[in-house]
Structure 1
Amino acid sequence: MTASTVLPDTMRAAVYHGQHDIRFEELPVPHPAAGELLLAVGTAGVCGSDVAEWAYGPHQHAFDAPHPATGWIGPITPGHEFSGTVVAVGEGVDAETWLGTTVASCGSVACGACDPCLRGQSNQCAHYNGVGLHRPGALAEFVTTPIENCLRVNELGLSLDEAALCQPMSIAVHTTSRAGGVDGQTVVVQGVGGIGAFLVYALVESGADVVATDRDAERLQIARELGARATVHVSGSADDLVMIREAVGENELRVIFEVSGSRPGIESALALAPRGCRIVLVGIQKAPVSIDLASITLEERQLIGTNALVREIDFPRAVELIARRRGRWAVLAPRVLPLDQVVEGALRPMSEGRAPAIKTLIDPRGTDVRPIASLA
């Protein structure tokens, strides 16, 4: 290991021990393996999957048996959306190139050698795993991560807070790509939350004409700021479909992105979709939903699943998109919380449907709540 500074022996971390059980512990500072970086964590984002693990898990965190790709089992530090400064490198990494640089990380780990990886679908890797999901993550002062899931952001004018938004943006970029070409097409985004808001921006930047729907008027205002042409405040009534069709207008509706993950959401998408429409299923349904497959076949509509990101393609595009709007991301992530507020300031309110913002960020070294930082 090559380090740029003298590193401490221990670090503070938020450690997941099971449902509703996060403990703040002193852990050894990890050492980067071959091909890895050690980051002094700048900022970490709290994701819906983190919330699901805390509220209902463990599901993705391995507690019953070692994870097949990483071998990790038991208590784990979450955090897969993060940025940091490179303070040490493992064997085979060019120290001169990396030490001292600031990076964004997508947290995705793939082998690079299996058939899905070789055909450019690393999100379907036979050995896929995630930093903060299947090996220790970034809700800590330090984290190790493979060099392949990091991109330097020094010259892009991004703060560490903004760089932590690149991972969720990469999910939106991948979702956009799953729909095929959207340039010049009218699309509907159902649900403007932690992924939907990033998706609105990614679609607009890809040339789509976006109509966004949500039950929260404040989130719809954010969607308009991010470029949506029209928004619809839905309530679950029969009038919702009428209002969405009016917002679409005379344009041909080509794609519906169902981000809410709710039964009414999928029912609305199926009812709205005209012949030949693509329905991209982004939100994960909590229970099986009956679908009239005959109508899908006869009208040549498409149901498209999407999951995670292709780090080699989607992540660089995401970094580019975050950089385009640098200095203006407070609309999604206005505040950064210290580590000791991750439960009461993020996980609990998010699990109860009262998220304080579309994206909640954590500063593992912070002592007080502060505004999101910008270099712009």
Structure 2
Amino acid sequence: MADLLRRCEVSTVEPASTAAPEAAGAPGAPVAPRRTMRAACTVAKETIRFEERPVPVPAAGQALIRVETVTLCGTDLHIWEDDYATELPMVQGHEFSGVIEQLPEPHPTLAVGDRVAVSPVLACGRCHACSIGRENACARMSVYGCYDVEGALTELMAVPVTKLFRVPDGLPAPLASLCEPAGIAMQAVNRGRPVAGEKALVLGSGPIGLLCTLYLTSLGVEVTAADTVPERCAFAREFGAVDTLLIDPAVPFPDPHQAERTAAWTGGHGPSLVFEATGVPSSLNNALRAVATAGRVVAVGISDREVTFSMRTLPVKDIDLIGSRNSQDLIGEAAQLLSRHRRQAETLITHRFAFDRAGEAFETMRSRSGTVGKVAVDMPGAAR
């Protein structure tokens, strides 16, 4: 813990005065707007420094957001460990919710004081993906807290109004911050072209796999979930899985017993739709083996590791192998999904930390002791 505290340094810079000298302390004097705010900056490997920074001034078309909650994902952990294509220093955080403090002009669906979830992807608008309406795969994208643009581990942010999505009344800030990963899961499911009544296999019962399972079942798809961790398999049932398969990484999947169960479940054909939500190369091979002939495999898990399979695999089984990245403005729909399934959403967040303990939040994500789901950081301006 002492080592942890040393890494979470505190940079104290005196804020500029917010009142004219003659008005300071005068009874009834107006309170000037604050000029500085705190930010948690990852300045080097596993090193967070808390800094005092100027409050951002929104540009044309931007709103000022008071950040309430930031949830962390595997990408955030890799950046904190300096094992990602991001240059440090960087203020991290791309899964977040907040409250609108200022709007540039009246808006038909948003107002000051609204709680919002934020789409963190900023597309170039000029590449091929953007030209066909798939900004989620922009070749030159920026992402808050990941690529080029600093993120949400700060008290206030200036964000384009087009990236804001009002969340339903009663959806608390920590759950609203899950709209971004829920949107990723919904994008993956939509890419798979699901049909009500068909049978799908979801490989991986981490947050994205669980949210895929939740969305699939809400669409009338029957889901079996698989994972290498028994507790995660049990968790998947809470999200609608009708069955779970425990994978032993040392044994080819499916093993004879699992193959028999899967055959009975699918009428001998295998699942027509499979989602790979781990990023583990062997898991993609498992998906290709398990999927029915002429089925679809959606790869949403990401890693830099290479995968190898026979050139016969795709053509002989006539498989659609589909990639999925980010989401196409599904944040608002994700908010509705989470609002309808609030109990399940609440179970995803297993750990919460105050802003001043952001370094400990990252340490917890890296921990292999106990079950770690989503880790949330409550910002200073969060409603209690």
Superposed pair shares fold, TM > 0.5: yes
Find 1:196's aligned residue among 185, 199, 209.
209
Q: Select between 170-179 and 295-304 the one with higher mean Cα deviation.
A: 295-304
Give the structure 1 partner of residue 69 of structure 2. Answer: 43
Give the structure 1 partner of residue 37 of structure 2. Answer: 11
Find 1:351's aligned residue among 342, 361, 366.
366
Structure 2 gap ranges (5+): 1-30
> 5 Å matches for 1:174-323?
174-238=187-251, 240-242=253-255, 243-248=257-262, 249-251=264-266, 252=269, 253-311=271-329, 314-323=330-339
Q: Select between 14-23 and 106-115 the one with higher mean Cα deviation.
A: 106-115
Shift of 1:282: 1.5
Q: Distance in 1 between matches of 2:194 and 2:94?
A: 29
Give the structure 1 partner of residue 4 of structure 2. Answer: none
Q: Deviations over 1:197-217 (max 9, x none)?
A: 111111111221111111222
Give the structure 2 partner of residue 149 of structure 1. Answer: 163
Q: Distance in 2 between matches of 1:336 and 1:366?
A: 15
1:365 matched to 2:380 = yes
Q: Select between 39-48 and 229-238 the one with higher mean Cα deviation.
A: 229-238
In structure 2, give the amino acid aligned to 1:140: T
Shift of 1:96: 9.8
Shift of 1:166: 0.6
In structure 2, give the amino acid aligned to 1:329: A
Give the structure 2 partner of residue 86 of structure 1. Answer: 100
In structure 2, give the amino acid aligned to 1:149: K
Helix, strand or coil: the match of 1:319?
helix
1:57 matched to 2:71 = no
1:337 matched to 2:372 = no
Give the structure 1 partner of residue 132 of structure 2. Answer: 119
Q: 1:32 to 1:247 in 2, by over 3 A?
A: farther
Q: Distance in 2 between matches of 1:52 and 1:131?
A: 15
Shift of 1:186: 0.8
Q: Deviations over 1:78-103 (max 9, x none)?
A: 1111111111234x564994211111
Shift of 1:9: 1.4
Q: Distance in 2 between matches of 1:111 and 1:322?
A: 29
RMSD: 2.5
- Which TM-score applies when normalising by structure 2? 0.83
- Which TM-score applies when normalising by structure 1? 0.85
Q: Distance in 1 between matches of 2:35 and 2:191?
A: 44
Structure 1 gap ranges (5+): 64-73
Give the structure 1 partner of residue 14 of structure 2. Answer: none
Shift of 1:222: 1.6
| Runs of 4+ with >6 A deviation | none
Q: Distance in 1 between matches of 2:54 and 2:43?
A: 17
Shift of 1:352: 4.6
The structure number with the bigger radius of gyration is 2
Q: 1:208 to 1:244 in 2, by over 3 A?
A: farther
Count residues with an aligned counterpart. 348
Q: Distance in 2 between matches of 1:140 and 1:161?
A: 16
